Amino acid sequence: MEKGLKYDFSLLALLLIPVGVSLNVVGYQVSTVLKLPVFIDQIGTFLVSMLAGPWIGMLTGLLGNVVNGMINPIAIAFGLVSMSIGFVSGYLSRWKFYTNIFGVLVSIIILTLVSALTAAIVTVFLFGGVTGAGTDLLTAAFLATGRELWNSVLSTNLISGLVNTLLNFFVSFLIVKRIPDRFLVKLTDGSLYLKKGAISCE
């Protein structure tokens, strides 16, 4: 069945947004305060996009960055990254990429490339390559080898993006696995993750 925009914005899907935003905000604050070289701020985006589709996932990602931007304005600029992740992840979920091991591996590669490219664009063109995050140290290391700024920032984001994607995806997937079937069937794409229909990460 073709699922349109109106179908995605069901009441239950909308109610998931605050949950996803809260998870993103907590993850972002932990990453920022501890100066971690990775960000665990997309758990909510992945979770919501898996269960409610690309548009709700994209909106969750954006709102999470807007809230984080109230504390650290830099986060707002990276809303593009979160929106891209939520949108792409939502379609990958809907197209059943997350229901088998091969699909998950392909999805991780796609999502890493999407997040790395969008993050590199924002970092270079809006911040000159430096954002104050822990990943700046890795960028500096690449620059020290003689690489140009764009190549250095993109390389950094490919590495951190892979780790970020793996962490955020699998944590969100484990959360989905803990959600009762009686609730999953009420969500837009929740039926894809009924206990008999989803892969196991355990």
Where are the chain's structural domains?
5-193
pLDDT (0 to 100) of residue 4: 64
5-193 carries CATH number 1.10.1760.20? yes
pLDDT (0 to 100) of residue 1: 42
DSSP string, 65-117: HHHHHTT-THHHHTHHHHHHHHHHHHHHHHTTGGGSHHHHHHHHHHHHHHHHH
**Regions of the chain where pLDDT drops below 50:** 1, 197-198, 200-202
CB-CB neighbours of 33 under 10 Å: 8
Encode burial over 155-193: b for 16+ CB neighbours within 10 A, e otherwise: bbbbbbbbebbebbbebbbebbeebeeeebeebbbbebb
pLDDT (0 to 100) of residue 3: 59
pLDDT (0 to 100) of residue 202: 45
Place of tokens 């699998």: 170
